[in-house]
Amino acid sequence: ILDIPKDNLRKYDDVSFVEKIIGTKVNDLYIGRNDILAIVESEDEVKDLNIDLQLLNNSDVRGLIVSAPATHYDFVSRFFAPSAGVNEDPVTGSAHTTLIPYWSRRLDKTSLKAKQLSQRGGVLYCEDMNDRVFIGGKAVQYLKGEISI
């Protein structure tokens, strides 16, 4: 379980720009510390996104989170950050520091189950803990090391 500071969201007004990037209608739009959060109508829209990565790469944000309510989860999402060298991240902890406060407030609940719909995908168990979020799920160790200072 990751214990991370919660992102602070504020409304973002450039709806037409984000709609050009994602190719579908945006219902709600916010910006957090580093990323834009676009809320669309359905899980299928998130699954079928065809992102204009070049246009996104030319923006002044680290990344774009696209999310919608879901059938078997509280919400689904995808995360794109070509300017950070990641066209689409499979499962993104930092994006959920933005997603959890939004969906917690919208659904009026603090415990949430989410799915990231990338090709690899992943299920996350999330908790809104006031100024922090807990993000848990299955993980695979890919590196082990030791640092001496």
Q: Please, what are the averages of pLDDT over each run of 10 residues along the chain (149 residues)?
A: 94 95 96 95 96 92 96 97 92 93 97 94 94 89 88
Residue 82 near residue 88, CB atoms below 8 Å: no
- Kindly report the pTM of this predicted structure: 0.91
| Distance, first Cα to last Cα, the chain | 26
- Distance, in Å, from the CA atom of 106 to the CA atom of 100, rounded to the nearest integer, reads 10
Q: What is the pLDDT of residue 132?
A: 96
Q: How far is CA 89 from the centre of its chain?
A: 10
Q: What is the pLDDT of residue 20?
A: 96
